[in-house]
Amino acid sequence: MRASACAKLASLSFLPQFAFRPPVSYSPRPPRLRGRSRYGAAKARQPSKDQTRMRMSQYFLPTMKENPAEAQIVSHRLMLRAGLIRQTSAGIYAWLPLGFRVLKNIERIVREEQDRSGAQEVLMPTIQSADLWRESGRYDAYGAEMLRIKDRHDREMLYGPTNEEVITVLFRDGVKSYRDLPRNLYHIQWKFRDEVRPRFGVMRGREFLMKDNYSFDIDKKGAIHSYNKMFVTYLRTFARMGLKAIPMRADTGPIGGDLSHEFIVLADTGESAVFCHKGLVDKDILSRKIDYDSDLQPIVNEWTSLYAATDDMHDKAAFEEIPEGERLSARGIEVGHIFYFGTQYSAPMKAVVAGPGGEQITVEMGSYGIGVSRLVGGIIEASHDEAGIVWPEAVAPFKVAIVNLKPDDGAVSGACQKLYDGLAAKGIEALHDDRDLRPGAKFADMDLIGIPWQVIVGPKGVSAGKAEVKDRKTGQREEVPFDQVVQRFG
Partner RNA sequence: CGGGGCGUAGCGCAGUCUGGUAGCGCGUCUGCCUUGGGCGCAGAAGGUCGUCGGUUCAAAUCCGGCCGCCCCGACCA
What is the binding site for RNA (CB under 7 A)?
63-70, 72-73, 87, 89-91, 145, 193, 195-200, 203-206, 208, 210, 253-255, 262, 271-272, 334-335, 337, 369, 371, 373-374, 387, 405-406, 408, 438-441, 443-445, 447-448, 456-461, 468, 470, 477
Min dist CB 448 to RNA, Å, is 5
59 versus 178: smaller Cβ distance to RNA: 59
Min dist CB 323 to RNA, Å, is 30
Min dist CB 73 to RNA, Å, is 7
Three-state SS across the chain?
A: CHHHHHHHHHHHCCCCHHHHCCCCCCCCCCCCCCCCCCCCHHHHCCCCHHHHHHEHHHCCCCCCCCCCCCCCCHHHHHHHHCCCEEEEECCEEEECHHHHHHHHHHHHHHHHHHHHHCCEECCCCCEEEHHHHHHHCHHHHCHHHCEEEECCCCCEEEECCCCHHHHHHHHHHHCCEHHHCCEEEEEEEEEECCCCCCECHHHECCEEEEEEEEEEECCHHHHHHHHHHHHHHHHHHHHHCCCCEEEEECCCHHHCCCEEEEEEEECCCCCEEEEEECHHHHCCCCCCCCCCCCCCHHHHHHHHCCCEEEHHHCCHHHHHCCCHHHEEEEEEEEEEEEEEEECCCCCCCCCEEECCCCCEEECEEEEEEEEHHHHHHHHHHHCEECCEECCCCCCCCCCEEEEECCCCCHHHHHHHHHHHHHHHHCCCCEEEECCCCCHHHHHHHHHHHCCCEEEEECHHHHHHCEEEEEECCCCCEEEEEHHHHHHHHC
181 versus 412: smaller Cβ distance to RNA: 412
Min dist CB 35 to RNA, Å, is 20
Cα–Cα dist 129/156, whole Å:
6
195 versus 219: smaller Cβ distance to RNA: 195
Nearest to 64 by CA among 88, 85, 94, 92: 85
Min dist CB 420 to RNA, Å, is 17
Min dist CB 59 to RNA, Å, is 14
193 versus 432: smaller Cβ distance to RNA: 193
13 versus 72: smaller Cβ distance to RNA: 72
Min dist CB 90 to RNA, Å, is 3
342 versus 369: smaller Cβ distance to RNA: 369
Min dist CB 102 to RNA, Å, is 15
40 versus 459: smaller Cβ distance to RNA: 459
305 versus 463: smaller Cβ distance to RNA: 463
Burial (CB < 10 A; 0-12, 13-18, 19+), residue 393, is middle
50 versus 258: smaller Cβ distance to RNA: 258
Min dist CB 238 to RNA, Å, is 13
Cα–Cα dist 152/342, whole Å:
38
Q: Please name the amino acid found at residue 181.
A: L
Q: Please name the amino acid found at residue 75.
A: S
Min dist CB 33 to RNA, Å, is 20
Min dist CB 256 to RNA, Å, is 11
178 versus 453: smaller Cβ distance to RNA: 453
What are residue 261's phi and psi, to 5 degrees?
-130, 140
249 versus 278: smaller Cβ distance to RNA: 249
